[in-house]
Structure 1
Amino acid sequence: MSVTGVLDAALDRSVLLGYSKIGSGVRRLWWPADPAPSSMAGKRVVVTGATSGLGEAMATSFAQLGATVHLLGRNPDKVKRSAGVIRGAVPGSVVVDEVCDVGDLDAVRAWTDDLSGRVDALHGLAHNAGVMPKRRDETPQGHELQLACHVLGPQVMTERLLPLLRNAGGASIVFVSSGGMYSAPLSTGDMESTRGEYDGVRVYAKTKRMQVVLADAWARRLAGDECVRVESMHPGWAKTPGVSEALPTFQKLTGPILRDAADGGDTAVWLVATRPSSVSPHFWHDRAQRPTTFGWQRPQDVDAVTRFLDAVSEMTDTPRSWIPLQG
C-alpha cells in the first residue's frame, strides 16, 4: 500500500480525524480531480431533502456545474426559499421547485408521474432526504417515518424514475447515508421499530445501514446497464441544521472540526458529475470507496440481505428484480 493509502486508511479508522474537516482537508492533497467547470451543462438533477444543509449545498454545487436542478422538499415555503438562495448564489442557474414528502409513498408515486410528464431524461438523482425524530411516528401508509423516508420512498422513486435515468444515456443515483450506519448491522427483525422504547438515533443508524444495502442491490441489478450507476456515500461529520436539532451535544463538542455542508456533500456531487467506476459495495467517502464493515464486525449476512430486499419490495409494491448477493 502506498504512503497516501496508509494515511487515508488511518484517517478512516480514526473516525474523529477522518470524518471531520481535518480528513477532507488532508485528502484533498491526493483525491481525484474536481469535475470540469460546466461539466453538467445541459443535464438535469433531482436532489431530495434540498431545503437546508447538505441538500441545499449539493444543489448549489450542481447549479455551479451548469445543471438544471430540481429542488425537492416537502414544505413549499422552504423549497421556494432555498431555490431563491441558489439562484442568488449562482446567477443564471435554472432551479425548479418540487414539492413532495419522500416518506409518503403515494405522494412519491404522484410526483414521479408528474415529473415524467414534464421531462424526458434525468442525469442524476441524489437521495438526501432525511429525518431523525425523537418519538416514533408513522406515515400515511402506516410505516415508521425513518424507514419510509430513508428506504421505502427512495425505493419507489428510483423504480419509477428509472426510465428517465436510462434515457439520459449516462446517469447516476446516489444514496446519502451516514457514518453512523457502522454502528448498526443489517437487521430485518423489527424493520418498523415497534419493539421496546423508540430511540431515534439508533433507528437513524439502522435505516442508514439499510440505504447502503439497498444502493448495493440496485448497483447489482443495473450492473449490465452502463446508462445508470448507483452508489452510496457518507458525508462525514458536517454542520447542518439537522445535526444541530437532533444532536445538540454532539455539535457542541465537535463544532470546531465539523465540515461545512458543501464539504459534506462534495462526494455525492462528484459521483454524479464524474460517474467513476466502482465495485461492490459501492460505498464512498471523500471520493474513495470504503468498506461497509470494519475488521471486528461480522461480514454482511447474505440471508439477511435477501430478507431485507424482499421486505422492501413487498412494502413498496415494487418488483423483486434483485440479483442475489453471493456469500
Structure 2
Amino acid sequence: AAAIEFASLGAHLILVGRSVGKLESLRAELSAANAADGCRLIVADMGSLDSVRAAVDEILETETVLDVLVDNAGAIFPDRITGPDGIEATLATMVVGPFALVSGLMPLLQRSEDGRVIAVTSGGQYTQPLDLNDLQSSQGSFSGPRAYARAKRAQVALVREWQRRLGPSGVTFNAVHPGWAATPGLADSLPAFYRSMGPILRTPSEGIDSMVWLGTTTEGGLDNGRLYLDRRPRPFDRVPGTRLTGDERRRLWDHVVALSGAPDPTPERWRSPRDQAA
C-alpha cells in the first residue's frame, strides 16, 4: 500500500526485498494502478550482510541521489536461529542489516535537498526493555514476539542516535508507528491477535498514512529524531523500566556498528568526546 501511494505521488521506487515472488507481485499491483514506471526491484535479504552490501553497491552504481529511505524490514522467528553472519536472525534482519543499508546509502541521502529516513516500528516496542548484554537473545528461553519487540525498541533507539550523529548533515531521521493494521504480515505472524483484534484493526491505507506523510510533507516544523503516530510525535517510552539512557543508546550504536562490520558512519567533526572515546 505504501509503495503504491508513494508511486501515485510521483516517486521513483527502488523496492528491496528477499522474496522475488513478493516483489514481482508488488510490481504487478503497481502496474495495475498505472504506477510502475521506473520501478526497480532489488532482491536482498536484510539478514545477510553480504546481500545488503550487494544491494547497496547496485544502488550506488545507478543512482545519484536518494530522497527517502523507508525501513520496513521485519520478521518473527519461532525459534532462535542465526543467519549467515552468526547473528541472531531477528536482530540481523531488523537491526543490523537495515543499519548497514542506511549507512551504505548515506552519501545518496546527503545529496538530496531534504533526505529522509523513516523506520517503521510497532507498538510492541513499548512492552520490552532492551538488555544490551543479551542483544542476540542467547540467555533464557527464546520468544519470537519478544525478540521482535526488542528489535523494534533497538530500531527506535538507533533512530535517535542517527539524528544526533548525522542530523547536522541535513538528513531527517524519524520512526513511525502505523498503528495495528490488518495486513497479511500481522495475520501470518500473530494469528491469534489478528483474529481477536480484527474488528478494530486499521485498514492498510490508514496504517501507511503517517509513513507517507513523513516522506512527502512540505509543511514546516517536522521534528527530527522522533517517533510519530497519526502525524504527531509520541513518547518513546510508556512502560516503566524500558527507557534507554543516552549512554545506553551510544553503547547500542557501538554494538551494532561492530556487528555490521562497517566503519562508524558518524562524521568525525560531529562526534562528541564520548563517541570518540568509544
The TM-score normalised by the length of structure 1 is: 0.77
Amino acid at match of 2:210: T
Amino acid at match of 1:265: I
8 Å contact 1:104–1:140 — kept in the other structure?
yes
Judge which range, 203-212 or 78-87, deviates more: 78-87
Give the aligned partner of residue 129 of structure 1: 73
1: CA distance between counterparts of 2:139 and 2:151? 15
1: CA distance between counterparts of 2:30 and 2:239? 42
8 Å contact 2:213–2:231 — kept in the other structure?
yes
2:189 to 223, 243, 246: 246
Secondary structure of the residue that 1:138 maps to in structure 2? Answer: coil
8 Å contact 2:126–2:239 — kept in the other structure?
no
2: CA distance between counterparts of 1:92 and 1:133? 32
8 Å contact 1:235–1:285 — kept in the other structure?
yes
Give the aligned partner of residue 142 of structure 1: 86
Cα deviation digits, residues 295-321 of structure 1 (max 9, x gap): 745643233222211101111123332
Counterpart mapping for 1:153-168 below 5 A? 153-168=97-112
Matched, 1:73 2:9: no
Q: 1:280 to 1:230 in 2, by over 3 A?
A: closer
Judge which range, 294-303 or 178-187, deviates more: 294-303
Give the ranges of 4+ consecutive aligned residues of structure 1 lying more than 6 Å apart after TM superposition: none
Amino acid at match of 1:217: E
Secondary structure of the residue that 2:168 maps to in structure 1? Answer: coil
Q: 1:83 to 1:286 in 2, by over 3 A?
A: same
Secondary structure of the residue that 1:141 maps to in structure 2? Answer: coil
Give the aligned partner of residue 274 of structure 1: 217
2: CA distance between counterparts of 1:279 and 1:220? 13
8 Å contact 2:180–2:201 — kept in the other structure?
yes
2: CA distance between counterparts of 1:253 and 1:88? 33
Secondary structure of the residue that 2:13 maps to in structure 1? Answer: strand
Cα deviation for residue 262 of structure 1 reads 2.2
1:176 to 102, 120, 126: 120
Secondary structure of the residue that 1:224 maps to in structure 2? Answer: helix
1:100 to 14, 34, 44: 44
How many residues are treated as equivalent by the alignment?
268
Q: 1:309 to 1:255 in 2, by over 3 A?
A: same
8 Å contact 2:167–2:224 — kept in the other structure?
no
8 Å contact 1:137–1:144 — kept in the other structure?
yes
Give the aligned partner of residue 191 of structure 1: 135
Q: 1:202 to 1:172 in 2, by over 3 A?
A: same
Judge which range, 71-80 or 123-132, deviates more: 71-80
Judge which range, 84-93 or 116-125, deviates more: 84-93
Task: Output the aligned Cα RMSD.
Answer: 1.9
Cα deviation for residue 110 of structure 1 reads 1.1
Counterpart mapping for 1:1-327 below 5 A? 57-91=1-35, 93-226=37-170, 228-274=171-217, 277-279=221-223, 281-294=225-238, 296-297=240-241, 299-320=243-264, 321=266
1: CA distance between counterparts of 2:37 and 2:30? 8
2: CA distance between counterparts of 1:169 and 1:280? 15
8 Å contact 1:186–1:304 — kept in the other structure?
no
8 Å contact 1:123–1:165 — kept in the other structure?
yes
1: CA distance between counterparts of 2:92 and 2:221? 29
Q: 1:243 to 1:160 in 2, by over 3 A?
A: same
Cα deviation digits, residues 106-132 of structure 1 (max 9, x gap): 111111011100111111100001101
The TM-score normalised by the length of structure 2 is: 0.90
Judge which range, 125-134 or 297-306, deviates more: 297-306
2: CA distance between counterparts of 1:145 and 1:277? 37
